[in-house]
Structure 1
Amino acid sequence: MRGRHAVGAALLAAVLLAGCQSEEPVAGNTSSAPVERRPSGYGSVFLAMDECSSFGTTSFTEVPCDGERAAARVVARHDGTVRDGPPCPGTTDFVLHISEQSPSDEDGDGAVPQGYACMRNLEPPHPGDPGAGGGPRTIVGDCVYSTGGGRQVRETSCDGKSEKKPQYKVVKAVGKRSQCPVSTALYVQLGGERPVGCARPV
């Protein structure tokens, strides 16, 4: 590796699912986009904390944060897979999955390990905000609707402007069901340190 120039990694952008267990309803969203391959040149780690990416319909690349192509900033960066690693911050807008790449720079030592970057748009809209109806995680303030059978739920916007109308709103996150308010009508799996979401009808 020469200086702080890192090797670009092929990415697949996907939104992290909130998790799934058969014992309680879960919420999740999905989206994906390929990312073009190119040297980053902006840090010793490809898409490290506080670095920025472009945003387009077909690809993402690492770009200077003060450049006109910058659209989203890395708010957390972890090695490994989303399933095995720490969850992204609650208001993350989307997740970029970084595939492992073998050395390919001039010196032959620029390997990029598998990992993922939690991204936040530099400007609105922010689908990861509470009630906005998107993002990789379901958090307090989000609304959900049943996808059938009462065992699975998905996130939707609380303002009722999405195709699916909200049926429940997550009002509290707790460690276990018994800590939810008595008005709780639905338990939603959130993940993280307080994995149970207490939801009530809207």
Structure 2
Amino acid sequence: MRGKGATGVAYRLLPLAPALIMALLVSGCQGPADAPVGNARPATLRPTGYGAQFLGVGECSSFGTASFTEVPCTSERAAARVAARYDGTVTDGPLCPPTTDFVLHISEQRPQDDEDGDGAIPQGYACMRNLEPPHPGDPGAGGGPRTIPGDCVYDSGDGQVRETACDGSGPRKPRYRITKAVPDRSDCPASTVLYVQLSGQRPVGCARPV
């Protein structure tokens, strides 16, 4: 079965064998608890001149309703720090660190009056970590741009699945927890009842009932 969440990212639940063995395909980025995969925060980013690179690693941004501004990390407006920064798109570029809280997509900006190119900002993305809790990217917290060991999911019906907080604090109770990531399904423990396709060098998540 195949369906789409609110952000249009599809989930597929594939039967592998009789009984409880199922395969769960999860890809893309995740946002707050109970949000479908793919819910990275779209944003208009405004360069402010802090650091050699706009939102370089270790630099901070404020939060806004429609825009995020680069600010000094010592500022009372600072809300999140850049854990990793890459040019290009999330689809084609490197993965964000596992416990990234959210991803900022940076549109290319080339000022018309910039002759030497030093004011240009290439297309890219910043992997962000909140300066203070909550941290939706932590294992089991129910969000973040990556599905990692320690995260929990539930079957939302009609072949769709979503991540939710493992402690039951989200709108839906968890049904499965990913216990480990391995290179191949055969490496999962015997207690595994759900295989979760992850990103990275260990693309198989082994999940069991909560």
Q: Which stretch shows the higher mean deviation, 171-180 or 22-31?
A: 22-31
Contact 2:40 2:103 in 1 (8 A): no
Q: Secondary structure at the match of 2:43?
A: strand
**Aligned match of 1:26:** 25
TM-score by length of structure 2 reads 0.80
**Aligned twin of 1:147:** 156
Q: Any idea what the Cα deviations from partners look like across 1:56-100, whole Å, max 9, x if unmatched?
A: 233211000111110000000011100001110010000000011
TM superposition shift of 1:153: 2.2
Contact 1:26 1:154 in 2 (8 A): no
Q: 1:130 to 1:201 in 2, by over 3 A?
A: same
- Residue segments in structure 1 that go unaligned for 5+ positions in a row: 1-14
Whole-angstrom CA distance in 2 between matches of 1:178 and 1:71: 42
SS at match of 1:60: strand
Verify the 8 A CA contact 1:52 1:63 in the aligned structure 2: yes
Structure 2 portions without partners, runs of 5+: 1-6, 15-22, 27-36
- Partner SS state of residue 171, structure 1: strand
How many equivalent residue pairs? 184
1:73 aligns with 2:72: no
Between the aligned residues of both structures, percent identity stands at 67
Partner of residue 111 from structure 1, selected from 117, 120, 143: 120
Amino acid at match of 1:138: T
Within 5 Å, give how 1:33-72 maps onto structure 2: 33-37=42-46, 39-72=47-80
Q: Distance in 2 between matches of 1:160 and 1:192?
A: 28
Question: Which aligned pairs between 1:1-202 and structure 2 lie closer than 5 A?
Answer: 24-27=23-26, 28-37=37-46, 39-104=47-112, 107=115, 109=117, 110-150=119-159, 152-202=160-210
Structure with bigger strand share is 2
Q: Give the whole-Å Cα distance in 1 for the aligned partners of 2:179 and 2:165.
A: 14
* Superposition CA RMSD, Å: 2.2
SS of the equivalent of 1:154 reads strand
TM-score by length of 1: 0.83
